[in-house]
Amino acid sequence: MKAVVTVMLKRDVLDPQGAAIRRACGSLGYDGVRDVRQGKIFEVELDAVDEAAARTLVEELAGKLLANPVIEDFRLDRLEA
Amino acid sequence: MKAVVTVMLKRDVLDPQGAAIRRACGSLGYDGVRDVRQGKIFEVELDAVDEAAARTLVEELAGKLLANPVIEDFRLDRLEA
Amino acid sequence: MKAVVTVMLKRDVLDPQGAAIRRACGSLGYDGVRDVRQGKIFEVELDAVDEAAARTLVEELAGKLLANPVIEDFRLDRLEA
Amino acid sequence: MKAVVTVMLKRDVLDPQGAAIRRACGSLGYDGVRDVRQGKIFEVELDAVDEAAARTLVEELAGKLLANPVIEDFRLDRLEA
């Protein structure tokens, strides 16, 4: 199975990298860009007996290795057979 | 509108960060994890007259500011009204 | 001039990416590795009338664009003529 | 011992994140900033019998876990007792 996990800074945590990209958009003339936030994405290939087991595994991993739960939110975005 | 863009290293480009996470999974006893690849994700809030305009804008931005097309692939993952 | 700025998560902020690398070191047999912390580094080429001006410029930039002062510390590591 | 390793994209590899920051500098009025390149930095705490052993260990690690030698250069920046 393939799981896709996204990790974003929590909404109330300043994201200077995203802010720099938004400003860069403006300087290139893309004035329609109002906000940019940057995060991480992980594509995880895994063996699991079923979708529930995969989901449990990925959520454990995300909390331990992929995200810092104090400042970041993670989300299991997709799970593909 | 909100656009979600993902940027991953091309398949044939080694991803040492992903490899480190896969190894860390193994050392924590998660033997079912066979591969991990790490990328970047960007959530972009933008004004656009319609979906086609938003799509064009985001694809231009991605090629100029978000990804290095020589080593990375980008994909417009979602576009939400 | 060239300024080198490093940005690290504050000591009391968990660094899951660093932790994953430390675990990966262990799984490769590098048992002497006790801790890994990952940060960002920026090499900035800039024009400035003197070193003091360069220092001021870089510290302003770092606080606005390179680091989130709530969770990260930045440091002007080197300044080369 | 503490080793500090920096990993930068090779000079001939486009760095869109660095370019975005440079543009953002311009849009904030910092016109003296001519170029920005972003890389990764790793602070590694390790046990080693002497400096030569530490150096060997860190260079092996860097080539395997910290950098992709095809697109990135790494450098052992500092080694502190």
D46 contacts C41? CB cut-off 8 A: no
Question: Rounded to the nearest 10 degrees, what angle do helices D16-27 and A16-27 cross at?
Answer: 70
- Whether the per-residue pLDDT at A81 is higher than 90: the answer is no
**What percent helix, strand, coil does chain C show, rounded to 5?**
35, 40, 25
User: A39-78: per-residue pLDDT in tens?
Assistant: 999 999 999 999 999 999 999 999 999 999 999 999 999 9
D70 touches chain A (CB under 8 A): no
Give which of C15, C22, C27 to mutate to test B binding, by max B Cβ within 10 Å: C27
B6 touches chain A (CB under 8 A): yes
Kindly report the pTM of this predicted structure. Answer: 0.93
- 3-state SS class at D10: coil
User: What would the two tokens of residue C14 be?
Assistant: 């968990």
The CA dihedral of C20, C23, C29, C35, to the nearest 10 degrees, is 90
- Whether the per-residue pLDDT at C81 is higher than 90: the answer is no
B71 touches chain A (CB under 8 A): no
Q: Which residue of A has its CA nearest to B65?
A: A21
- Whether the per-residue pLDDT at A19 is higher than 90: the answer is yes
A14 contacts C64? CB cut-off 8 A: no
User: C48-64: per-residue pLDDT in tens?
Assistant: 999 999 999 999 999 99
How much is the pLDDT for B81? Answer: 86
User: C27-47: per-residue pLDDT in tens?
Assistant: 999 999 999 999 999 999 999
Query: Nearest CA to CA, how far is B11 from chain C (Å)?
Result: 21
Taking the CA atoms of chain A, what radius of gyration do you get in angstroms? 16
Q: Mean pLDDT of residues grouped by 10 in chain B (81 residues)? A: 97 95 95 96 96 95 94 95 86
Query: What amino acid occupies position B54?
Result: A
Beta bridge partners of A38: B42
User: D5-39: per-residue pLDDT in tens?
Assistant: 999 999 999 999 999 999 999 999 999 999 999 99
Residue D64's pLDDT band (cuts 50, 70, 90): very high
CA distance D75 to D81: 18
Q: Report the mean per-residue pLDDT for chain A.
A: 95
Extract the runs of DSSP E, i.e. beta strands, from chain D: 2-9, 33-46, 72-80
Look-up: residue for tokens 């001939």?
Answer: D12
- Greatest Cα-to-Cα distance within chain A, rounded to the nearest angstrom: 50
Query: Nearest CA to CA, how far is C68 from chain A (Å)?
Result: 6
User: What would the two tokens of residue A21 be?
Assistant: 């990209």
Beta bridge partners of A76: A5
CA distance D37 to B23: 29
